[in-house]
Amino acid sequence: MPVLHDEGIILRKYSVRETSYIFVIFTKKHGKIRGTLKGVRKPYPQFAGNFEMMNRCGISFYRRKKKALDLITGCEAIEPFLNIRKDILRLTYSNYFIELIDKITVEYDVNEGLYTCLSEALRELSGKTNPKHIARIFELKILQSIGFRPRLEQCARCGEEKFSDIFFSAPIGGILCGHCANQALVSLKISRGAVNFMKKILEIDISRATRVNVTRESAIETEKALSAFIDYYIDSSFNTKKFIDDLESDKNIILDFVSTL
């Protein structure tokens, strides 16, 4: 049983007894793994920073095919995204990203594109870019990475390319012309600006995408469209989404958080 080396981002962490952890880690070359790391908590508290959720780590592990858990023998932080941890809004968005990745991945299903999306999104989140802007880019990019890219070039139902009133339907998988929207059970009106914003994002990497300007109205429309898409194709029960709404509407929560630092 050879030792495997990879890098990964810690999605979940559980403490076991006084000395060990169970980790769920989304790795670059082996997909999502679930493994135990023994004997590191009590004896070596100075290394605890290596084992925080969301860290990008270098890991060594043994794959144990007949066991529920792999055996992790090394885990060292490469990129701890410390700035995210100092800002409750950014921290909550990062938890949303992690939750989303955890929902759409299964063990050992390798998707380097998805891994790159997560690591780039966390890197951007630890900078100055508006987290809401990063979230829309991240949602689009992961939909693209798992084969659920919304159809934005033509009506997703009839294929028409030129029409003035544009609608968006998650069940049909993209934009609709007015005629098809009349026959769809669910659709929402969307501007050309929002559609062009999404198309642009899909063509470039995340760091460049964060510099693409979008009007407030188009950003709101994009958020509604992507939220409907994710609810329909992935899941609608995100613990973190409601908390993001609470945070953005109640600044007192942020002040409380800052006072605890």
Residue found by looking up tokens 């993001």 in the block: 244
* Cβ–Cβ < 8 Å for 98, 23: no
Nearer to Zn ion, 142 or 181 (CB): 181
Which residue(s) pair with 23 in the sheet?
A: 13, 35
Residues at the site binding Zn ion, with contacts judged by CB under 5 A? 155, 157-158, 160, 177, 180
Smallest distance from the beta carbon of 159 to Zn ion, in angstroms?
A: 7
Q: Is 35 left (phi over 0), alpha (psi -120 to 50) or beta?
A: beta
Smallest distance from the beta carbon of 163 to Zn ion, in angstroms?
A: 7
Write the single-letter amino acid at 17. R
The count of C-alpha atoms lying within 13 angstroms of the C-alpha of 196, restricted to the half-sphere facing its C-beta, is: 8
Smallest distance from the beta carbon of 92 to Zn ion, in angstroms?
A: 38
Smallest distance from the beta carbon of 179 to Zn ion, in angstroms?
A: 5
Nearer to Zn ion, 83 or 183 (CB): 183
- Rounded to 10°, the helix 131-145/216-233 angle is 40
Nearer to Zn ion, 66 or 162 (CB): 162
Smallest distance from the beta carbon of 90 to Zn ion, in angstroms?
A: 40
Which residue(s) pair with 16 in the sheet?
A: 20
b or e along 99-138 (b: 16 or more beta carbons within 10 Å of the residue's beta carbon)? bbbeebbeeeeebeebbebbbbbbbbbbeebebebbbbbb
Nearer to Zn ion, 16 or 158 (CB): 158
Alpha helix segments (H runs only) across 191-238: 192-203, 206-209, 216-233
Smallest distance from the beta carbon of 175 to Zn ion, in angstroms?
A: 9
Q: Taking the CA atoms of 249, 255, 256 and 261 in sequence, report the sign of the dihedral they define.
A: positive
Nearer to Zn ion, 101 or 177 (CB): 177
Nearer to Zn ion, 79 or 160 (CB): 160
